[in-house]
Amino acid sequence: MTGEKMGTYPGWFSRLSAFGTPNRGRAIGQILDTFIPYALLWVGMVYTLRAGYSYGVTLLLSVIAALFLIRIFIIFHDCTHSSFWPNRRINTLIGYISGILTFTPFWDWGRSHAKHHMTVGNLDKRGTGDVWVLTVEEYKAASKWKKFLYRFYRNPFVMFLLGPIFIFLLSNRLPTPGAGKKEKRSVWITDGAILGIILLANFTLGLKTYVLIQLPTIWIAGIMGVWLFYVQHNFVPGYWAREGEWDRIKASLEGSSYYKLPRILQWFTGNIGIHHVHHVRPSIPNYKLQACYDSIAELRQVKPLTLRASLQSLKLRFWDEQRRSMVGLEALKSL
């Protein structure tokens, strides 16, 4: 990516600011077309269980509900960047509500995610808000126990099927290391609200009905969410560099994918597949990412990652500093 330099930023960077202001009308539209269908799907799932329909019908509705829950999470994600709504207090309120629905504490997750943005692609600052990545040489020098843990962690079954349960049902229930008072408070408020919803459901719908609906919905949404986050930073070639060579713009454009999804999936995922643009300028609301991408030619130079091609990312395990690329287990054959 080249261009006239403006300090450490390319000349086109200043043009991004035109897309960085939240729009109240667009935000209201997303709230209406996301939260209302999600609520109606919940009503539909309760009805199918009460009316004695096959549980398969409920599960089918839960898949659709999970897609809307992903969209709710994108709204939550925007709120942590203060980019969804023009007013900061309302932005925070929407963020808390979205976080409760997605079982994710607002300030605590936002803090971790902000660190991810500041360190993405930096080999010397890994470990917060990202997927665990070892270089080939680091893996080679690791103990047998660390190698086992790493292979276990990066196993697709563990990462995409067990991982979402651990993250959204267990890990998010406790503050992350280093959390401050505000972050800890957001965890306890979220946990308390979730507990309150469970108790209310127990006395109205029945605990079994709640679990039969909520568990598959959050799990399916979690699987899709973890996959989206994974493929946004684990693809070929990718970008990682040591502190002295690390460049924020390169990390954004080369280390964050442009995941080109079918239009309906792009809608459900709130344009988050245009991830390189999001990383270049996190303050751009999800509903303006496509317009920003279309308007700035330099952003369109990033090669799209198609749905089919993204499946190859399942094989990736390590960063090869010599090849400057993500590689799979075949890289170990030369060790």
The pLDDT, as a whole number, for residue 8 is 72
Tell me the three-class secondary structure of 224-241, residue by residue. Answer: HHHHHHHHHHCCCCCCCE
Cα 86 to Cα 26, 30, 89, 94, 247, distances in angstroms: 11, 14, 9, 12, 30
The pLDDT, as a whole number, for residue 330 is 87
The pLDDT, as a whole number, for residue 4 is 39
The pLDDT, as a whole number, for residue 127 is 84
Report the alpha-carbon distance of residue 68 to residue 106 in Å, rounded.
19
Report the alpha-carbon distance of residue 107 to residue 239 in Å, rounded.
28
The pLDDT, as a whole number, for residue 335 is 55
Full-model pTM: 0.94
Show pLDDT as tens, one digit a residue, over the chain (335 residues): 444 333 478 889 999 999 999 999 999 999 999 999 999 999 999 999 999 999 999 999 999 999 999 999 999 999 999 999 999 999 999 999 999 999 999 999 999 999 999 999 999 999 888 899 999 999 999 999 999 999 999 999 999 999 999 999 999 999 999 999 999 999 999 999 999 999 999 999 999 999 999 999 999 999 999 999 999 999 999 999 999 999 999 999 999 999 999 999 999 999 999 999 999 999 999 999 999 999 999 999 999 999 999 999 999 999 999 999 999 988 887 65
Residue 71, Cβ density class (10 Å: 0-12 exposed, 13-18 middle, ≥19 buried): buried
3-state DSSP percent of the chain in helix, strand and coil, to 5: 70, 5, 25
The pLDDT, as a whole number, for residue 7 is 40
Is 298:12 a contact under the CB 8 Å cutoff?
A: yes
Report the alpha-carbon distance of residue 140 to residue 156 in Å, rounded.
21
Per-domain boundaries in the chain = 17-334
Is 84:27 a contact under the CB 8 Å cutoff?
A: yes
Phi, psi of 53 (to 5 degrees): -65, 160
- Tokens 């949404």 correspond to 221
Of the candidates 258, 252, 288, 280, which has an alpha carbon nearest to the alpha carbon of residue 14? Answer: 280
